Structure 1
Amino acid sequence: MSPDRPPPSNRWKQQGSLWCLSPPGPAGELAGTVEFIGGTLLATSPQISYRRLLEALAARGLAIRAWSYVPGFDHQSQATEAWRAFRRGRQASPAEQPLLRLGHSLGCKLHLLAPDGGRGCSGLVAMCFNNFSADRSIPLLADLAPRLGVRTEFSPSPQETLRLVGLHYRQPRNLLLRFGNDALDQSRRLIGVLQQRPDDASTLVERPGDHLTPASAGLRQNLLGPWADDPARQRQIDRLADQLLDWWGHVPNLNKFPGTG
């Protein structure tokens, strides 16, 4: 752990389905707000599963709101549920501030399907975008469904998801992060759809790592103290946080919060 890094935060507060974290400095120094949705199997406790990354962003002056949910098959319904939860969070803190949407894996898809079409934010960072079919995402399902005489698929399906994004997603500023050793990532398909839209300003960037690189809880550090931490892992997360903030800081009209969410 870096000597100037604060100890693991105990400032997480639960507000309904949101886990919220304020930056350590004075409220007047708030640089913006992150609305985060995690991926399958990690999203029920984002304040733990993604602790390192979210706390690194908070240490850089951002307020964090992370949605807790149990993934299901109706992704459109869950996208709407998440958007409503974040909207309630914004209404509870009505001061205008730049808003960044951040997603990992399935969380990217849910942000892309938000009812406002991305209008209510200054940009989206989509890490490890995953849009596989249900039987690819849940291997046991492919084996069981035919035996049970049922056909189960996510709604919308992978093909329909990309079609809806092309038709209804209106946020031009998107950073797609793909990690080199990630067989689940489908960012290249997504960037192809996004860049077909008029005035698109989306970017695809590749970093070292794998599908779980953004998810780091620092469990050894929590249980045993700072001496047991992996400094390389923390440096990797810090570089990721810096890259997100560097990109967001160059977004045009960052300080003009749309407020239409």
Structure 2
Amino acid sequence: MDWQEVRGNWLLIPPRSRGIIHFLGGAFLAAAPQVSYRRLLEFLAEHRYAIVATPFVNTFDHLAIARDVLTKFEYGLDWLEQRSRCRPGLPIYGLGHSMGCKLQLLIGSTYEVERAGNIFLAFNNYAANQSIPFMENVNVSGMEFIPSPRATERLIEQAYPIRRNLLIRFQNDDIDQTGRLSRILKERFDHMVTTLQLPGNHLTPLGQTLSWQPGAEFSPLDAVGQWLRQGLFPELTQLEQTLIKWLI
């Protein structure tokens, strides 16, 4: 499998895909998701989930970003269907990290989209002066994200329709707000919402790839390579296994 840039997205399409994952990364990390989140996304593709990772550049207007990434995703989906790269009717899942979670929530709350479920990693919905480090030393009077944190919560409370959700927070993450999101979603969907805490920190989903290409037949050397991969990145390995268990 090789990454392809198609209509504003980065695509990684395995043979006989069992589902499609639309991925949105965190602020300042999402410009090159095929690099920043390579190991996590390639792991999901290895388990036969087609990846559509949409890059974006952060601005104050998060509603505009949500509209733009959804449009690009739909262009990418059309391309896949036109070329028969994925069979029709595959379940579509949204996956977001940090700010990418907020964008997935805005997409679901603002547009009519078909989703089998959404996954939120380290949800963050802070105000502008708390989210951008250098802004604490700048006059930010009147400058706030659109929608604001409270307006985002109200929108989710009133309009978010996707029932099946997985929320993950990491143990050493001081900027995580998964608890707030969990309470809102459980009031709407109760038992359809799963909230977990895993080892790691806010940047755990960005674990780097350790390349290891096994031979035609699995050998003891391949077992060592697999062990090294798991041993060097135990927190990301646990995250990967948790996602696959929930998806399948």
Normalising by structure 1, what TM-score? 0.81
Tell me the residue number matched to 1:183. Answer: 174
1:118–1:38 distance in 2 versus 1, CA, 3 Å: farther
Tell me the residue number matched to 1:164. Answer: 155
Aligned length: 228
Q: Distance in 2 between matches of 1:214 and 1:118?
A: 28
1:76 aligned partner, one-letter code: L
Tell me the residue number matched to 2:30. Answer: 43
Instruction: Report % sequence identity.
Output: 37
Does 1:108 pair with 2:108?
no
State the structure with bigger RCO (CA 8 A, min sep 6), 1 or 2: 1
The offset of 1:108, in angstroms, is 0.3
1:12 aligned partner, one-letter code: W
Q: Distance in 1 between matches of 2:211 and 2:189?
A: 47
> Out of 36, 44, 63, which is 1:57 matched to?
44
Which segments of 5 or more consecutive residues in structure 1 lack a partner in the other structure? 1-8, 250-261
The offset of 1:117, in angstroms, is 5.2
Which segments of 5 or more consecutive residues in structure 2 lack a partner in the other structure? 82-87, 213-224
The offset of 1:100, in angstroms, is 1.2
Q: Distance in 1 between matches of 2:75 and 2:107?
A: 14
Q: Distance in 2 between matches of 1:248 and 1:117?
A: 23
> Out of 101, 119, 124, which is 1:125 matched to?
119
Q: Distance in 2 between matches of 1:56 and 1:19?
A: 15
CA offsets, 1:188-243, max 9 Å, x none? 0001111111566111100000000011233x759xxx89x764244543332221
Does 1:205 pair with 2:199?
no
Between Structure 1 and Structure 2, which shows a larger proportion of helix residues?
2
1:104 aligned partner, one-letter code: H
**SS at 1:129's partner residue?**
coil
Q: Distance in 1 between matches of 2:198 and 2:48?
A: 24
The offset of 1:16, in angstroms, is 2.6
Tell me the residue number matched to 1:242. Answer: 241
Q: Distance in 2 between matches of 1:164 and 1:200?
A: 21
CA offsets, 1:90-142, max 9 Å, x none? 22223210111100000000000005557411000000000011000113213
Q: Distance in 1 between matches of 2:180 and 2:46?
A: 33
Q: Distance in 2 between matches of 1:199 and 1:64?
A: 28
CA RMSD of aligned residues (A): 2.2
Q: Distance in 2 between matches of 1:57 and 1:122?
A: 16
Tell me the residue number matched to 1:88. Answer: 75
Q: Is the 8 A contact 2:94 2:119 kept in 1?
A: yes
